[in-house]
Amino acid sequence: MVKRKRPAAAGATEAVPTFEAVLTLQELSESERNVTGAGEMAFARRVTLSALTRSSAEMQAAWSTPEGAEAMLTAVELATDWRTHLKGCMALADTTLARLLVTGKAAMDGVVKP
């Protein structure tokens, strides 16, 4: 970490976080072109959301047969996969926000006068 003086507080120093880029733009483009499981995640999302379109009575009736019970277990698995995917997305978004806010604050400390 690099230390620098903050103009707002005379004599005070604050550590300014430093980090390297995680990806190049080319790597990002390549990863987006080669997304594996994109169709599977779209299906998991659709199954997860479609469960919200049924009442409890409709769901219980649908799950009351052997085939329905198997479909319910598959739906639970897909909803779990979708949740795991969303948690990963949240982690990426949290990291992005932290990087934006930290660097934005550090940059603005020298620009915005109190």
In Å, how far from its chain's centre is CA 84? 10
pTM: 0.70
Q: Assess contact for 6 and 109: CB atoms under 8 A.
A: yes
* C-alpha closest to that of 62 among 80, 74, 49: 74
pLDDT of residue 38: 79
10-residue stretch averages of pLDDT, the chain, 114 residues long: 48 70 87 76 93 95 95 96 93 93 84 59
pLDDT of residue 9: 52
pLDDT of residue 1: 46
Alpha helices in 1-114 (DSSP H): 25-33, 38-50, 56-63, 66-109
pLDDT of residue 4: 47
